[in-house]
Amino acid sequence: MSNISKEDYLSTIYKHRDKDGKIKSNLIAERLDISGAAVTDMLNKLSKSGFVYYRKYKDIKLTKDGENYARNMVRRHRIWEVFLQQVVGVPWDKVHDEAENLEHSSSDDLINRLEEMLNFPEFDPHGEPIPDKNGKLPGQKKGIQLSSVQPGSKVKVIRVNDFDSSFLNYITKIGIELNTVIEVKDILEFDNSMLISVDGNKTNISNKLAANIFVLRENN
């Protein structure tokens, strides 16, 4: 718990807030795998520091300073992920944890140099957009969760959540990566798990797993 920094909190809020820029404290706790009490304690500190708007039992929102700080941390993290995968050859299910360590000790100048060396990448290895040094995000088609796709549909993977390396490791083993085409064969009424086909290989995945994979319908 003590290893989770304010940067981790701000990045989590930035990445998982809703379209109105708000997030609930229980989602922060879930994403960081910590207690609600620990989240409340940190939110009070971040509020006093001017990084978040926070009142008990209300949704949380980043202030302008919090937004700028969080976006810069996300930018650092995602550029390091690209570097680790493309230059060092680290698999996509390992780059998140490595980038987590590197992002905290990097200067903005180093990040800008890395970005230039990598030819200004727009997306990280998991399909997440990378803010440029002015904070601008690249255009991106809005995907839907695989868990919402109906049987008989073919979809293409455009993004996956990267917060859990065991999740990434598992989907890699069953052949899912960016741009993979998935055919949804059936949905089990009992638990909403899915029978899918990847490159002709059928497998069952849970609803929770499917909810962390974002796709576009093949005719998009």
d(CA 45, CA 61): 14
CA atoms 80, 84, 87, 88: torsion sign: positive
End-to-end CA distance of the chain: 42
Sequential pLDDT tens for the chain (220 residues): 446 788 889 999 998 899 899 999 999 998 888 998 999 999 999 999 999 999 888 899 999 999 999 999 999 999 999 999 999 999 998 898 889 889 888 899 999 999 999 999 999 999 999 999 999 999 877 889 999 999 999 999 999 988 778 899 999 999 999 999 999 999 998 899 999 999 989 999 999 999 999 999 876 5
3-state secondary structure of 139: coil
d(CA 181, CA 201): 12
With b for 16 or more beta-carbon neighbours within 10 A and e for fewer, the 10-33 pattern comes to: bbbbbbebeeeeebbbebbbebbe
Q: Which residues pair with 42 in a beta bridge?
A: none
Q: Describe the crossing of helices 6-16 and 25-32 by its angle, rounded to 10 degrees.
A: 110
